[in-house]
Amino acid sequence: MVTAALSSDDRRRVLRFAASFLWADLEVADAERRFLAELARELDVDDGPEAVAGLLASPPVPEDVDPTCVPPAVADLVRQAALRAIAADGRVDRDEMTMFELLDDLLPRSPLA
């Protein structure tokens, strides 16, 4: 993931979207917990362990994962993080992919796409 140009807010935004997919089945498996911690490190999120702990304690509120508020420059990273989150537990549920397709439809497209 290329994150050097991301603001702190954008890094947290990507992490919150990933967490929302981990919570899709209302349970967060150990593999998913490890994934979120690793993603926070990859994103170099300020206070990453605390941010991860909060996202694992309860899912992000809908206002914090509004795809219409994602800047176009961050949208592809959100897509990538969501797909990685879906696969983090080793199984892909049809409902998770439906949720991803909705996210994909609502996220802005890169001008180059």
Q: What is the pLDDT of residue 5?
A: 84
Query: Which of helix, strand or coil describes residue 23?
Result: coil
Q: What is the pLDDT of residue 93?
A: 87
The stretch 92-109 carries a mean pLDDT of 94
Report yes or no: 82 and 21 within 8 Å, Cβ to Cβ. yes
What does each C-alpha distance from 32 to 10, 37, 73, 85, 96 come to in angstroms?
A: 21, 9, 26, 7, 14
The stretch 47-62 carries a mean pLDDT of 96
Mean pLDDT of the chain: 93
69-92 tens-digit pLDDT: 999 999 999 999 999 999 999 999
What's the pTM value of the predicted model, to 2 decimals?
A: 0.92
Distance separating alpha carbons of residues 69 and 108, to the nearest angstrom: 9
pLDDT at 1 over 70: no
